Amino acid sequence: MNIQELNLALIDIILKKNALDTLDYADETYDTIEEELHDLEDDFLATHGDDLEKEITKIHKKLCPKSDVLSPIAYIGKSYYVETKADGNLRFDREPGQGVIVEINGFEDEDTKLLVMPNPLRLILIINDKTQKEVWKA
């Protein structure tokens, strides 16, 4: 697994999703950006999908064995907060409501989700959309 390439490909998808999220369906660029997003996702799955799915599967077996493992693309949120730091690097934070719903052992009565995050590449567990915990880091 090439962590740096996977992280950069994830960032490309997130930035494209964020751009699409700001547009109305009537916008003349919407279809073009949506097609670019689908191409990025297809490339991501072809290049990095198997590697990321292996890591997600390990997390599922450990934390949420009753929940099905989905395509790695499903674990990418619809949109993220993005901030450019002073050194020029991007900092990402999750927006509310993002992530794949999973049933976590010990948290059956809670709203629990898994979400992939870049910079650094990691998978976080979100509990009740308030608490988050890193459950895997590349």
pLDDT digits (tens, 9 = 90+) for 44-103: 999 999 999 999 999 999 999 999 999 999 999 999 999 999 999 999 999 999 999 999
Per-residue pLDDT at 135 exceeds 90: yes
Cα separation values, 12 from 38, 123, 128, Å: 12, 17, 28
Partners of 123 in the β-ladder: 116, 136
Mean pLDDT in the chain?
Answer: 95
Partners of 132 in the β-ladder: 126
Q: Is 134 helix (H, G, I), strand (E, B) or coil?
A: strand
pLDDT at 101: 96
Domain extent at residue 78: 3-137
Tens of pLDDT, residue by residue over 10-30, are 999 999 999 999 999 999 999
pTM: 0.92
- Count: domains in the chain: 1
**Nearest to residue 93, comparing CAs of 127, 70, 67, 119?**
119
pLDDT at 105: 84
Q: How far apart are CA 98 and CA 21, in angstroms?
A: 13
Asked if 86 and 93 touch (Cβ cutoff 8 Å), the reply is no
